[in-house]
Amino acid sequence: MDINNIKMVGIDKDTPLELREKASFKNIGDALVKLKELGLEEVVILSTCHRSEIYFYSQKVTPQQIKEFFIEYFELNEIFSEYLRQICGLDVVEHIFRVACGLESMVVGEDQILSQVKEAINTAQAFNTSGKILFKLFRDAVTLGKKARADTGIKDLALSISYIAVKFVQEIFEDIKGKKAFVIGIGEMGQKAIKNLLDKGADVFVTNRTLSRALELKEQIPEIHVVPYEQKYLHIASSDIVISATNAPHYTVSYEKFREVYNERKICMVDIALPRDIDPRIGQMKGVSLYTLDDLKKTAEENKKERLSLITVIEEMVKEEVKEFDKWYKTLEIEPYIKEVSRYAHEVYNTEFQRIANKLIDSSEKDKENIKIALRRVANKMANKMITYLKESAY
């Protein structure tokens, strides 16, 4: 079994935003099914704001075929293929481990990616597209991600994109206490932005396409003001800060509708959605400062410097876990032999017990059970010795 059959093709945060938003998987289940039809033995899709990656295990399907799938599925031109990265074998193992640990995130050590990695494998399992190898790979990645954050304490320093967005706004206004902030979308990123804005003393208004969800959030966070979705433009125009973080596949803040209500007051808008929520033309209007995910990189880089010492520690943890996965993978080749040794050991002790038991007519059931246990222990010890030898030979 060649470990190079584990492969990955995808784009990440270094790909231009306009291309990332075009290649963002919205119906992962549909894509998984189509990929399986190509002949992949196992496949998992990791789709986030910063990356669209297809992890797969196949002896026949090549990375080039997956690149062609990307282009066809998203109806892109051939130029897009220049940004598609392909890796295989232990490079894939190291990559997903680094991703889960937050080492490949714009905000190093952030927590959100860990839940996204977990969700990726759960979705693949739900659609029966993952198998023994990718399940093990992603499960180990999640376990390592948790351990890295807990053992190093980087989780206490990790800042989400939502936090960075608020910090970015604060640098522009110097002080956002008392400023009117309007948050569109109350998913995970939106809620984090809301909490961070409240912590900085902003007067926070929120809206969501589903009003009931916004009202439920107000029960949890009474300080917020809920705005009906159809009134969002009036509140955007009267706000100092606007942060948009929905999952909509189209602009939720259109240029035409915003222009009708805008009075040229100073507004700082931060679009942390992918695809983007806010029409880019709005950023060209007088008084409006519009920032996207890519504009947050500077602040993210400053935070990264504070974590350099912890990053080194986590990178060593990643290297060790890559070695452990490699060992596990190599044992797959000898798995049939291990099963045969275990089966034979069970057969031997059971046969020998039956032979002895027939001669122990006067022995109690307890004595017979003790003899059976003893024989099983001997057989297991001999089997384990042989299995250990097999594993060491595989390494």
Please check whether residue 162 is in contact with residue 221, taking contact to mean a CB–CB distance below 8 angstroms. Answer: no
Tell whether 149 is in a known binding site.
Answer: no
CB atoms near residue 25 (< 10 Å): 18
Q: Which two tokens stand for residue 94?
A: 């190291």
> Among this protein's residues, is 49 annotated catalytic?
yes
φ/ψ (deg, to 5) at 12: -135, -160
- Is residue 64 marked as binding? no
Beta carbons of 217 and 206 less than 8 angstroms apart: yes
State yes or no: 49 annotated in a binding site.
Answer: yes
**Given 49, 88, 101, 268, the catalytic residue:** 49
Q: Is 365 annotated as a binding residue?
A: no
**Residue 139 marked ligand-binding:** no
The answer to whether the annotation marks 50 as part of a ligand binding site is yes
To the question of whether residue 190 is assigned a binding role by annotation, the answer is: yes
Does the annotation place 186 within a ligand binding site?
yes
Sheet containing 203-207: which strands, arranged edge to edge? 225-226, 203-207, 180-184, 241-244, 267-271, 288-292
Q: Is 185 labelled a binding residue?
A: yes
Instruction: Collect all residues with Cβ–Cβ distance below 8 Å to 161 and sequence separation of at least 6.
Output: 49, 106, 107, 110, 112, 189, 272, 293, 296
The residues that bridge with 180 in the sheet, in sequence order, are: 203
Closest CA to 296 of 105, 112, 154, 156: 105
75 carries a ligand binding annotation:
no
Name the residue among 123, 23, 30, 6 with its Cα closest to residue 72: 23
Q: Angle 50-83-164 (CA atoms, 0-180°, nearest 5)?
A: 20
Phi-psi region of 392 (alpha: psi -120 to 50; beta: other; left: phi over 0): alpha
Q: Is 187 annotated as a binding residue?
A: yes
65 in Cβ contact with 9 (< 8 Å): no
Q: Are 148 and 101 in contact (CB under 8 A)?
A: yes
Q: Is 231 annotated as a binding residue?
A: no
CA dihedral for 163, 168, 169, 175, sign (positive or negative) = positive
Flag whether 367 is marked binding: no
**Quick one: three-class SS letters along 364-377?**
CHHHHHHHHHHHHH
Q: Is 260 exposed, middle or buried (0-12, 13-18, 19+ CB in 10 A)?
A: exposed
Which residues are the active-site residues? 49
Residue ranges of the annotated binding site for NADP(+) are: 185-190
Residue ranges of the annotated binding site are: 48-51, 105, 110-112, 116, 185-190
Residue ranges of the annotated binding site for substrate are: 48-51, 105, 110-112, 116
